[in-house]
Structure 1
């Protein structure tokens, strides 16, 4: 670790090696050790995400990792990410902060975030945004509502005081994401099935029924291209490179069951709409404490072999813009409901959806979905040095 600064009580270091990243990743596991709503990240996935030599996002990103120690013990962490592609596409001059976790001490937050802000100024940036990751498929948003709700595998958890710290340090709301939960009905509304059948027939589309999860691999690149086409106008979305696509496929492919991967295609078998959900992995990851080795893999194997699950987590849903008004979401709902029936699912939860994305949120209106969590991206304009002009 490289020593950067001390206020006499708290020392700030920059982590510069993969070995040190393990300490950075595991800090929130200790911070939330007795919190039943916290779900740890998988250590192997986070190492792959944060290592400079592993994550393909470093083709267009730079990142620095800072840690606060007091008496030799970690009391906070934060990552700073300079995403050149994001800045170019969205005409921004900003650095992002990510992986922000601290004890309830405002001074620790001040010391950590000042490192992010100083680096941003050195790069000639105008603001700091966050929490946001390397891309829109990475963790993003600070939990600001729903602290009593159990976390998901695909999201992060934080204490309520994080929000107070950021606001005290001059950070303001930029945008919010919402998450919904719903109870699976005993019987699917027959109108939804009729709408699905009519939409597919009218548009000369069909559902590709996958027998094995690996059967989706020939369509994987097209699916990610479709994902970008559908969301490119949503704030923060940027195109992924081929190596990033391979990274995310590798991290999630073994978790996806054919029953929960709905794939709609045109007459040439080109995907035009898809939906991916997984039986909730949260409890499994909690049991193995985010580590698959040496024995955590046993819990994962039990999860993969289980014939019954309680809750679904919605990962991704996307439709080509030309079909946005065609009710193809009904076909995805039908496919997912059939899988839910097979595995005894009782509940479903969505991942974060931008608060202005009413099109996606409206999909769940028939299921009396309840907004139960809210996440926030903050922004802080950086003060210009004396004599500095735009």
Structure 2
């Protein structure tokens, strides 16, 4: 093979090549969903993405005979290392042709940058963090990804394994079929018992009071997820930015808050699977993509439960079953009868049991890899 040349992203043209690399890898893959180019540029913009107020990133492209053949980003997330008191660095946005030499060169480059930054471990993929698209698809290649979930060729697993990466953690995605569960007296009864026993009151997002509602999200998110492996608290700016992006797309009746005696105890964020629309937009919002978001909503037959959290002192009381039951009934009114609960840590017994109690099927797995930096 000809020499592999690694170049650092320096210009807008380089950034465009970095983003468009995905089209080269997936051009014949029927399950791939092209990302919105506008969205990717915003995520990678170190001046606009608030993630970079506590993180550094360097992006690279691999070339052979002046043709781009792969890409990678090396990421140092100071907030992660402060929170976990470790020296973990991350790789992300990885795309590569099926060539081990190219993959090795990309991984070596990212690892060397992280080493220079004082990291002793490289983990990923994180795009760019665990609060964004996270993990490499391990099982479930015969289906398109749901909104904000990753997708990759199966050979990526071999590229990582052959390089020497080891499993750090697996993430689970469950399929929930509403038409079956809505007929289940057992599921209905379990949710009713929990609701009545703890006097749980479920309310939906009030768009007229959006900023105050957002404060409730921040409270639950940074309390409920704090004990989880790999958790990194989102800053106020990060949550505000995420909310701004999602606000035009949310269905208020699918964003739920749970209260007991007027105390906030839980939160669920459910989004229709806009990937079913994005798939045919080829990464472009303009000139007609933006219109499609609002005229083709009936095509969305899936939703994704992005977040469902109960604050620690109210966990293990079956309150998640109440949220699931509400979500099922509310989504059905929009003609959405399939849902994905994702992602859930493989060893998060409480959430896994909750999904299983809903007769959900474990239908996809994702892997977080890591390797020591010598």
Structure 1: where are the runs of 5+ without partners?
Answer: 1-6, 384-390
Q: Matched residues in 1 for 2:265 and 2:252: separation?
A: 18
2:257 pairs with 1:263? yes
Matching residue within 114, 119, 128 for 2:113: 119
SS in 2 for 1:185: helix
Q: Distance in 1 between matches of 2:331 and 2:176?
A: 13
Of 233, 240, 244, the match for 2:238: 244
Change beyond 3 A, Cα 1:188–1:274? farther
Q: 1:360 aligns with which of 341, 351, 355?
A: 351
Between the aligned partners of 2:142 and 2:186, the Cα distance in structure 1 is 35
What residue number does 1:37 align with?
A: 31
Residue of structure 1 equivalent to 2:229: 235
The answer on whether the counterparts of 2:218 and 2:236 sit within 8 Å (CA) in structure 1 is no
**Of 272, 284, 290, the match for 2:283:** 290
- Which stretch shows the higher mean deviation, 339-348 or 283-292? 339-348
The reply to whether residue 206 of structure 1 matches residue 201 of structure 2 is yes
Please point out which of 351, 372, 380 is paired with 2:371. 380
Task: Indicate whether 1:330 and 2:321 are aligned.
Answer: yes
Bigger shift: residues 121-130 or 361-370: 361-370
Query: C-alpha separation between the residues in 1 aligned to 2:283 and 2:30?
Result: 14
Alpha-carbon deviations, 1:275-307, whole Å to 9, x = none? 121221112111111221222112212244x3x
Q: Which residue of 2 aligns with 1:226?
A: 220
- 1:154 to 2:148 alignment: yes
Choose from 273, 290, 293 the match for 2:266: 273
Q: CA 1:224/1:18 → structure 2, altered by over 3 Å: closer, same or farther?
A: farther
Q: Which moved more, 1:64-73 or 1:95-104?
A: 64-73
- Give the stretch that moved more between structures: 72-81 or 133-142: 133-142
Q: CA deviation at 1:35?
A: 0.9
Kept after mapping to 2: 8 A contact 1:61/1:134:
no
TM-score (norm 2): 0.93
Shift of 1:178: 1.2
For 2:141, what is the secondary structure of its paired residue? coil
Partner Cα separation in structure 1 for residue 187 and residue 367 of structure 2: 33
Deviations 1:10-45 (A, max 9, x none): 221110244532321221123112211111222222
Report the CA distance between 1:47 and its aligned residue.
Answer: 1.5
How far apart are 1:215 and its partner, in Å? 4.5
Residue 135 of structure 1 and its aligned partner are, at CA, apart by 3.1
Question: Contact 1:135–1:237 (CA<8 Å) still a contact in 2?
Answer: no
Name the residue aligned to 1:178. 172
Consecutive unaligned residues in structure 2, runs of 5 or more: none
Q: 1:161 to 1:209 in 2, by over 3 A?
A: closer
Q: Deviations over 1:326-350 (max 9, x none)?
A: 2211221222122222122232122
Comparing 49-58 and 259-268, the one that deviates more: 259-268
Aligned partner of 1:348 in structure 2 is 339
- Partners of 2:34 and 2:296 in 1: how far apart? 16
In structure 2, the partner of 1:388 is none
1:75 corresponds to: 69
Contact 2:131–2:234 (CA<8 Å) still a contact in 1?
no
The size of the alignment, in residue pairs, is 373
Give the whole-Å Cα distance in 2 for the aligned partners of 1:277 and 1:218: 19
Match of 2:127 among 112, 121, 133: 133
Match of 1:3 in 2: none
How far apart, CA to CA, are the structure 1 residues paired with 2:222 and 2:204?
A: 23
Query: Deviation at 1:125?
Result: 1.7
Q: What do you get for the CA RMSD once the two structures are aligned? A: 2.1
- 1:81–1:133 contact (8 Å) kept in structure 2: no
Per-residue CA deviation, residues 110-145 of structure 1 (Å, 9 max, x unaligned), is 111111111122122211111123332211111121
1:320 to 2:295 alignment: no
Q: Secondary structure at the match of 2:280?
A: helix
